[in-house]
């Protein structure tokens, strides 16, 4: 779908991108990771010529974008881009935000555009917000609208530049789950993100950018579990993320709590925080959530250990297992007692429970 050859981008005499050559195939889900300032956004913007490369060639579906004869506006319609800050039209209703591109750029009738818009809003869970204005929505909702608006142009590829970075942590899940669903539908995507669990789950290929280019790339297992080069290793090690995937109700919960404990110890957490993480994990995965519904447990904290976030994903019906009145009062009160905040969301038949302290 896209071929990049010897791409270079400089600002004055500062070479942001020294040399990138790569191919993006239809159906690939590529996540770009790397330290800030390494040119991830610049690379993404060169793909649809929001930035003009200093030299090199970008080809999209066989057309050379650098060729003056290529109609860049036609091509941009096929490459949707979602930004960190949503970029919705503030003075337009949500419905108008979705219709305007379709009617003005694709020449679709208003009635047809509205029909498509309602379908897309429903798909991102915002069917009831068609007449609201961007100001009335939360960050997570705005970003879902931005994604729907992008889809309204029927793109062949979607580019995401840190789509969850401007969001409150409780809203990250609602946006990543929409992107995950797009991935499952076969949409070709390139995503710049710091959400490593998400990257691990959703991507077919990870590109680690550093030193002005693609420093290392490969399937997620290779980059996250076994990176070959020094800087990739150092970057992966800095991320304090524990992730445990559960594939059947017969999973080994002793291994789960053990590995979690090892992870905490390796990262020098205090005894009390290790106990809390293990206790919450145990109450949720052994008592409160039916075994067969469990999908994954992840645990994150920032380098300064100012807060801790334990996330459990489980299937089944829409339910916050810490809320619904039923038995297991003790387990619930243990979790609620430790947490400073609990949030629950449900989409795509998946519950996401986030416990923070
Ligand atoms: P990343 O997305 O990986 O954080 P960027 O692509 O945003 O990195 O930026 C890479 C480098 O290029 C940064 O040092 C940034 O300051 C510089 N840069 C980005 N855009 C411009 C610009 N328009 N003019 C000058 N320097 C820029
Ligand atoms: Mg950036």
Does residue 170 carry a pLDDT above 80?
Answer: no
pLDDT (tens digit per residue) in 262-309? 888 877 889 899 999 999 999 999 999 999 999 999 998 876 788 899
Reported as type and span, the H/E element at residue 82 is: strand 79-82
Span 7-23, mean pLDDT?
Answer: 95
- Give per-residue burial for 188-204: e unless 16+ CB within 10 Å, then b: bbbbbbebbbbbbbbbe
Span 172-176, mean pLDDT?
Answer: 88
DSSP secondary structure, 261-307, as one string: HHHHHHTT--HHHHHHHHHHHHIIIIIIS-GGGEEEEEEE--TT---
Closest atom of ligand 1 to CA, residue 34: 3
Q: How far is CA 66 from CA 10, 56, 78, 82, 190, in A?
A: 16, 8, 16, 23, 20
Distance between CA 76 and CA 229 in Å, rounded?
Answer: 35
Return the pLDDT at 235.
87
Distance between CA 34 and CA 315 in Å, rounded?
Answer: 32
Taking the CA of 165 as reference, the closest ligand is 2
* Centre of ligand 2 from the C-alpha of residue 176, in Å: 18
Which residues are within 8 A (CB) of 129 and not within 5 positions of it... i.e. 6 or more apart? Answer: 94, 121, 136, 137, 141, 145
pLDDT (tens digit per residue) in 194-234? 888 789 889 999 999 999 999 999 999 999 888 999 999 88
Answer whether 259's CB lies under 8 Å from 242's CB.
yes
Q: How far is CA 310 from CA 117, 169, 260, 276, 294, in A?
A: 35, 12, 11, 10, 14
Indicate whether residue 11 lines ligand 1 (CB < 6 A): yes
Residue 343: closest CA among 201, 178, 172: 172
Tally DSSP H helices, then E strands, for the chain. Answer: 12, 15
Return the pLDDT at 348.
83
Does residue 2 carry a pLDDT above 80?
Answer: yes
How far from the centroid of its chain's Cα atoms is residue 289's Cα?
25
Distance between CA 207 and CA 307 in Å, rounded?
Answer: 29
Torsion of CA 225, 231, 235, 238, to 10 degrees: 100
User: Quick one: tokens of 325?
Assistant: 């009145």
Taking the CA of 43 as reference, the closest ligand is 1
Return the pLDDT at 299.
93
Does residue 257 carry a pLDDT above 80?
Answer: yes
Indicate whether residue 37 lines ligand 1 (CB < 6 A): yes
Q: Which residues surround ligand 2, an ion (CB under 5 A)?
A: 41
pLDDT (tens digit per residue) in 154-166? 999 999 999 998 8
Indicate whether residue 40 lines ligand 1 (CB < 6 A): yes
Answer whether 156's CB lies under 8 Å from 78's CB.
yes
* Centre of ligand 2 from the C-alpha of residue 44, in Å: 9
Mean pLDDT score across all residues of the chain: 92
Residue 4: closest CA among 38, 40, 48: 48
Closest atom of ligand 1 to CA, residue 51: 23
Closest atom of ligand 1 to CA, residue 162: 2
pLDDT (tens digit per residue) in 50-82? 999 999 999 999 999 999 899 999 999 999 999
Span 32-42, mean pLDDT?
Answer: 93
pLDDT (tens digit per residue) in 297-348? 999 887 678 889 999 999 999 999 998 666 688 899 999 999 999 999 998 8
pLDDT (tens digit per residue) in 132-152? 999 999 999 999 999 999 999
User: Quick one: tokens of 140?
Assistant: 């997570």
Does residue 180 carry a pLDDT above 70?
Answer: yes
Return the pLDDT at 140.
94
DSSP secondary structure, 181-236, as one string: HHHHTT-EEEEE-S-HHHHHHH-SEEEEEETTEEEEEE-HHHHHH---SHHHHHHH
Distance between CA 340 and CA 356 in Å, rounded?
Answer: 6
* Centre of ligand 1 from the C-alpha of residue 151, in Å: 27
Answer whether 43's CB lies under 8 Å from 88's CB.
no
Indicate whether residue 193 lines ligand 1 (CB < 6 A): no
């Amino acid at each position: 779908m896209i071929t990049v050859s010897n791409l270079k981008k400089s600002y004055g005499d500062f070479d942001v991108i020294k040399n990138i050559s790569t191919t993006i195939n239809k159906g690939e889900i590529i996540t770009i990771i790397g330290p800030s300032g390494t040119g991830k956004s610049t690379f993404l913007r060169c793909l649809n010529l929001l930035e003009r490369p200093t030299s090199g060639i970008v080809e999209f579906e066989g057309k050379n974008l650098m060729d003056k004869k290529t109609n860049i506006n036609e091509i941009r319609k096929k490459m949707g881009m979602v930004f960190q800050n949503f970029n919705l039209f503030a003075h337009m209703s949500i419905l108008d935000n979705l219709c305007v591109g379709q009617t003005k750029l694709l020449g679709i009738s208003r009635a047809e555009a509205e029909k498509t818009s309602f379908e897309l809003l429903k798909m991102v869970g915002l069917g009831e917000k068609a007449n609201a204005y961007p100001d009335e929505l939360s960050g997570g909702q705005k970003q879902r609208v931005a994604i729907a608006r992008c889809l309204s142009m029927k793109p062949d590829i979607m580019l995401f530049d840190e789509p969850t970075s401007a969001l409150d942590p409780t809203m990250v899940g609602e946006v990543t789950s929409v992107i995950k669903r797009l991935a499952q539908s076969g949409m070709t995507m390139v995503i710049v993100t710091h959400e490593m669990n998400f990257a691990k789950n959703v991507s077919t290929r990870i590109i680690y950018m550093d030193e002005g280019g693609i420093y290392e790339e490969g399937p997620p297992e290779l980059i996250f579990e076994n990176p070959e080069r020094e800087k990739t290793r150092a970057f992966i090690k800095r991320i304090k993320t524990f992730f445990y995937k559960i594939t059947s109700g017969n999973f080994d919960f002793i291994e789960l709590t053990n590995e979690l404990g090892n992870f905490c110890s390796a990262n020098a957490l205090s005894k009390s925080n290790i106990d809390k993480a293990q206790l919450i994990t145990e109450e949720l995965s052994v008592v409160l959530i039916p075994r067969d519904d469990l999908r994954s447990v992840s645990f994150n904290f920032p380098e300064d250990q100012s807060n801790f976030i334990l996330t459990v994903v489980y299937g089944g019906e829409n339910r916050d297992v810490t809320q619904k009145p039923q038995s297991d009062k003790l387990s619930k009160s243990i979790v609620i007692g430790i947490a400073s905040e609990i949030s629950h969301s449900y989409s795509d038949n998946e519950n996401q429970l986030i416990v923070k302290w």
